[in-house]
Structure 1
Amino acid sequence: MSWYLYMLECRGGSLYTGITTDVARRYAAHAAGKGARYTRLYPPERVALVLAFDDKSAALKAEYAVKQLSAAEKRALCAAHGDDLAQFPPDQTC
């Protein structure tokens, strides 16, 4: 089973980072207000980044590393991997 690190652009332009095995399901949960407390306060507007990992441990390590980045560095990471979002509906991606 693959694990995914995902980044959401939320209301107000903020970014939220998490991991999951099913990005579409997790996005739907966040959008419905059933995700993290942060995304209940700042609903997601689109998926900005998705990176695949072989296991949960690798995804968790990547999540920690991404959360240490500045907002500008996170946006640069999203820009560098923008083509990887073709698998998601256009209204959910940047």
Structure 2
Amino acid sequence: MAFYCYMLRCSDGIFFTGHTDNLEHCIAQHQTGELPGYTQTRRPVELACSQDFPSRHEALTAERQIKGWSRTKKQALIASDWTSLIEAAIPHAERALRLRSGRTED
């Protein structure tokens, strides 16, 4: 059985991240407002991206990780822009230090 971590783009432009074992059914529930909570008042929603995992634990771990990310990092993931994703992962203070020192790479 596959499990999915997914990201929805809500009508207000905010990203919602969740996990499920039935992606189509879950998105349909979000779309109709059947699931109480965050997306219920932010419809319509659209699937921005999803990834399958072999276990619920791995899908939940991915969900929790992505929920802590910045909007920029989430947008890079949606676009499969790995360079921007890595750049967005560098803390602001470290990025500023690299620029001040003239160092742009690790």
TM-score range, shorter chain: 0.7 to 0.9
2:31 paired with 1:23: no
> Matched residue pairs, number?
81
Q: Distance in 2 between matches of 1:44 and 1:5?
A: 19
SS in structure 2 opposite 1:24?
A: helix
Match of 1:52 in 2: 52
- Farther off after superposition, 32-41 or 8-17: 32-41
RMSD: 1.3
Q: 1:8 touches 1:44 (CA, 8 Å); kept in 2?
A: no
- Regions of 4+ moved over 2 Å: none
Give a deviation string over 1:11-56, Cα, whole Å, max 9, x none. Answer: 1111000001111100100011012411111114310011010000
Match of 2:8 in 1: 8
- Deviation of 1:67 after TM superposition, in Å, equals 0.6
2:66 paired with 1:32: no
Structure 1: state its 5+ residue gaps. Answer: 82-94
- Farther off after superposition, 18-27 or 72-81: 72-81
Structure 2: state its 5+ residue gaps. Answer: 82-106
Counterpart code for 1:29: Q
TM-score by length of 2: 0.72
Answer 1 or 2: which has greater strand percent: 1
Q: Quote the sequence identity (%).
A: 35
